[in-house]
Amino acid sequence: MTPALELDAISKVYPLAEEDFYALREVSFDVPVGEYVALMGPSGSGKSTLMNLIGLLDTPTEGRALLAGQDAGDLDPEEQAAMRNRHVGFVFQSFHLLPRLSVRENVEVPLTYAGYRPGVRRRRALEVLERVGLGDRVDHRPSQLSGGQRQRVAIARALAMNPSLLLADEPTGNLDSETGLEILALFDELHAQGATIVMVTHEPDVAERCERVLRLRDGRLESDSAGRAAPVVA
């Protein structure tokens, strides 16, 4: 079947005065539907650049990135935004909730841009908030929630559109270790229920929970190995 994500020799080049700087150099890998992948690497390795390319926030200089079999490279910014809306669910390290909106309204944001009517948005938002265990906090403001609860809101928001790919950037980076473990447990559950997840992390014990660990160094894919949670191949 079509992988959730296919990267075909993508490079990201920033032209500098002296010589071009390769943030990424010919990185290729696939992520099949339902896989749970950790993306590791020291800072400056190209992790963030790669994440932005996968999330269609940026476009590669060379190569192709396919989300659910679709190439975003040929699309104009409007179509790219629509594709991001449909296929990518972001979970950021610093949550990135909109402070003026209630929890439910925050979750409704991607549904709004997809064109759902208010009734559908509300029902869907309540459904995913229930799913992440925040059914009783829907009318709170983000500022009234703990860090762990805020990250749950962000996860609910990422799930709202049932995206092809959940893209989590250090989702436990701003949380204490106990809360962090709860969030990771939630990701494990989502994975068990079929979600495709790419998680950027620099913590080895976080990466160990994944099926597969990709390591980047100096813009190149250094290694691609099975994690502890990898299914045993018969």
Partner 1 sequence: MTRAATLGAADADPAGDDAAASVADWFALEEPTGTTDTRAIVGIAWRSIRGNASRSLLTALGVIIGVAAVVALTAVGAGVTQNVTSNLERLGTNLLTIGATVTRSSTGIVRTESSAGITVGDAELLRSLQWVDGRILGIAPSVTSNLQVRAGGLNTTAQVLGTWPDYAPIRDLEVGAGAWWTDVDVESRARVAVLGHEIAQELFPGMDPLGQSLTVGTHTFTVVGVLPDKGAGFGSPNRQIIVPLSTYLQRLARSQVAGGTSAQSVNQIFVRATEAGHLSALQTDVMLLLANERGEFDLEALGFQVQNQADTLESLTAVSRTLTLFLGAIAGISLLVGGIGIMNIMLVSVTERTREIGIRKALGARPADIRLQFLVEAVVLAAGGGLLGLAVGAAGARFVSPMLGVTSALTVAPMAVAFGVALFVGVVFGLYPAQRAARLDPVASLRHE
Contact residues: partner 1, CB under 8 A: 1-2, 4, 33-34, 52, 55, 57-58, 68-70, 77-78, 81-88, 90, 92, 96-98, 100, 109-118, 120, 124, 127-128, 131, 157, 159, 161-162, 164, 192-195
Residue 178 vs 227, nearer CB to partner 1: 227
Residue 177 vs 193, nearer CB to partner 1: 193
How far is Cα 199 from Cα 227, in angstroms, rounded to an integer? 13
Residue 94 vs 223, nearer CB to partner 1: 94
**Least distance from C-beta 143 to partner 1, angstroms?**
14
Report the candidate in 118, 210, 104, 102 with the shortest Cα–Cα distance to residue 157: 104
CB atoms within 10 A of CB 43: 8
Tokens for 126?
A: 């309540």
Residue 204 vs 226, nearer CB to partner 1: 226
How far is Cα 218 from Cα 209, in angstroms, rounded to an integer? 25
Q: Are strands 212-217 and 36-40 parallel, antiparallel or unpaired?
A: parallel
In the chain, the amino acid numbered 149 is: Q
